[in-house]
């Protein structure tokens, strides 16, 4: 049988190229990304992380093996603590107050992505959930390294680039890939297909998240 992560990676090759080519990531890499776009991204990302941490905690609760439980429980805490520290620095630089962040409501894309993760967490299988969780790690590692390889000096977004191209983060990504492959190894063909679909859906949402920040996305009516 083929390895799930290899199938999923091949299956999303075109999407990943599109993510590399996004105007948001192009501008982040050369440091020209406008402050309003990065601010929007930071605030939406703080909202995303809270829900992502819930999805990770649910994966920890559902995991059939202690190694996966530990990894997801730790990642849930890190999503709240480590990522919040990164955000804290940028919140200060970009003048985002805690009140402003707390009062913000999710954009359509942020809402769609987090609800997809939470509905998978609560109505899908453990296998589907880990496949939905994986792109958040893997795509950021891929994009972090891609951008680190082409960025220049004095980039105002260097702390973001360093976080996601760091070797320790790479180790965490490898661990989640291994957990996902273990889950897939004993899954039926139907379950593996559902896993692929979930992986692809989250990868689409990762593209949409950066795109929505670049467009400063709003709800089309009523807000
Ligand atoms: C939309 C969006 N997708 C992925 C990440 C990256 N990320 C968030 S939590 C986590 C694991 C635990 O820290 C990782 C890698 C992000 N920040 N925002």
Residue 206 a catalytic site member: yes
Evaluate whether residue 178 is within a structural domain. yes
Distant-in-sequence, close-in-space partners of 40: CB < 8 Å, separation ≥ 6: 213, 216
Evaluate whether residue 223 is within a structural domain. no
Mutate to test the pocket of ligand 1, among 47, 49, 159 (most ligand atoms within 8 A of CB): 49
Helix (H, G, I), strand (E, B) or coil at 138: helix
Task: Render pLDDT for 154-182 as a digit per residue (tens, 0 to 9).
Answer: 999 999 999 999 999 999 999 999 999 99
- Given the CA of residue 173, which atom of ligand 1 is nearest to it? 15
Structure-token pair, residue 96: 């985002």
Evaluate whether residue 142 is within a structural domain. yes
Q: What is the 3-state secondary structure (H, E, C) of 165-182?
A: HCHHHHHHHHHHHHHHHH
Evaluate whether residue 69 is within a structural domain. yes
Confidence class for position 99, pLDDT limits 50, 70, 90: confident
Range of the domain at 79: 4-214
Determine which of 21-35, 80-94, 132-146, 172-186 has the lowest per-residue pLDDT on average.
80-94
pLDDT confidence of residue 89: 86
Distance CA 64, CA 83 (A): 27
Evaluate whether residue 181 is within a structural domain. yes
Identify which of 93, 84, 85, 98 has the alpha carbon closest to the alpha carbon of residue 46: 84
In this structure, the residues whose C-beta lies within 6 A of any atom of ligand 1 are 45, 48-49, 52, 75, 78-79, 82-83, 136-137, 140, 206, 209
Evaluate whether residue 219 is within a structural domain. no
Evaluate whether residue 141 is within a structural domain. yes
Number of structural domains the chain divides into: 1
User: What phi, psi does 2 have (nearest 5°)?
Assistant: -75, 160
Q: What CATH number does the domain containing 106 carry?
A: 1.20.910.10
Residue 50 a catalytic site member: no
Evaluate whether residue 103 is within a structural domain. yes
pTM score: 0.97
């Amino acid at each position: 049988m083929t390895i799930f992560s290899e199938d999923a990676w091949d299956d999303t090759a075109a999407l990943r190229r599109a993510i590399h080519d996004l105007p948001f990531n192009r501008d982040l890499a050369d440091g020209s990304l406008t402050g309003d776009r990065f601010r929007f991204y930071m605030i939406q990302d703080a909202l995303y992380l809270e829900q992502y941490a819930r999805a990770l905690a649910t994966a920890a609760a559902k995991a059939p093996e202690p190694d996966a439980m530990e990894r997801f429980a730790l990642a849930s805490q890190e999503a709240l603590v480590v990522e919040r520290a990164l955000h804290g620095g940028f919140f200060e630089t970009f003048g985002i107050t805690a009140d402003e962040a707390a009062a913000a409501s999710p954009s359509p894309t942020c809402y769609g992505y987090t609800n997809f993760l939470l509905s998978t967490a609560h109505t899908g299988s453990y296998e589907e959930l880990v496949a939905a969780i994986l792109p958040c790690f893997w795509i950021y590692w891929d994009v972090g390294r891609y951008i680190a390889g082409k960025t220049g000096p004095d980039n105002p977004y260097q702390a973001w680039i360093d976080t996601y191209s760091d070797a320790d983060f790479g180790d965490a990504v490898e661990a989640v890939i291994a957990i996902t492959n273990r889950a897939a190894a004993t899954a039926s063909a139907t379950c593996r297909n559902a896993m692929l679909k979930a992986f692809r859906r989250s990868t689409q949402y990762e593209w949409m998240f950066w795109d929505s920040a670049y467009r400063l996305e709003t709800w089309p009516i009523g807000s």
